[in-house]
Structure 1
């Protein structure tokens, strides 16, 4: 995401703009040995999320999740499973540069389970204002968009993959 880009997420909102694109992203649901969840605070909307980003040409979904986690947090992870595939048309993302709409995206997110294998927390300033290990009991203290909270809650409550 380029500097100066803002993001607005819509969830179950009939007034949301109509999508102009449909792209695949990968996210990683990472818990440490204490059961804490890896979260980062986005710079484009000031909301907390799990590491997430677009799947690039020439890479697998797993490679994208691992790359995004390293880029955004400085932490190296290994994919261990699947939280789910989240593709509901009820989630729409508007990307703005200044006052200009760059894109209105209906995302397809593949959320992967992963485990920490190395690295050190070093937020990428263009993407993450902060990176923290959060006790799941404290999640309500963090502003998290409902679409992302849906992924997190499923990851915490079930080992069965979710498909929507």
Structure 2
């Protein structure tokens, strides 16, 4: 299923769904950030996805990282909340979501990197190389907030 992201676009379709999601900034010992290249839009992104009934948001982040990357992670902190109504995600099946994501920090505790059916590439990337990757600016914003090592989480 294809996905198109809009931000502050007057021509964006009107949202018809609000979905709670979690993502994670997973780093390795060298301070590189784990990114996946999504199959649905071809852009790099942090691993993450939709919360299921019976899950907590941190549990969602742990499950999504495992499903999308093969790594088991431990949540270590909170980057922020990303709920800007100007960020709209449209899917080819007609679903149009208003963005709602809570982004955590995490560290890998076990597992091995493996590409899932949701990605075409998976790698740890040095922070200075991220700007050169095809990535939606809302993903870059989460990474920027992480790299700023804020005293308090971003609330937006």
TM over 0.5: yes
Q: Deviations over 1:68-108 (max 9, x none)?
A: 000000011100110000000010000104xxx2x000021
Determine the structure 2 residue equivalent to 1:120.
112
Any stretches of 5+ residues in structure 2 without a counterpart?
none
Q: CA RMSD in A?
A: 0.8
Q: How many residues align?
A: 155
Which of 97, 101, 107 aligns to 2:99? It is 107
Q: TM-score, normalised by structure 2?
A: 0.97
SS at the partner of 2:99?
Answer: strand
Determine the structure 1 residue equivalent to 2:83.
87
SS at the partner of 2:20?
Answer: strand
Runs of 4+ in 1 over 2 A off after TM superposition: none
Any stretches of 5+ residues in structure 1 without a counterpart?
none
Residue 67 of structure 1 and its aligned partner are, at CA, apart by 0.4
Determine the structure 2 residue equivalent to 1:78.
74
Q: TM-score, normalised by structure 1?
A: 0.92
Residue 162 of structure 1 and its aligned partner are, at CA, apart by 0.3
Residue 52 of structure 1 and its aligned partner are, at CA, apart by 1.1
Normalized per residue, which structure has more strand?
1
Tell me, in whole angstroms, the C-alpha distance in 1 between the residues paired with 2:119 and 2:43: 10
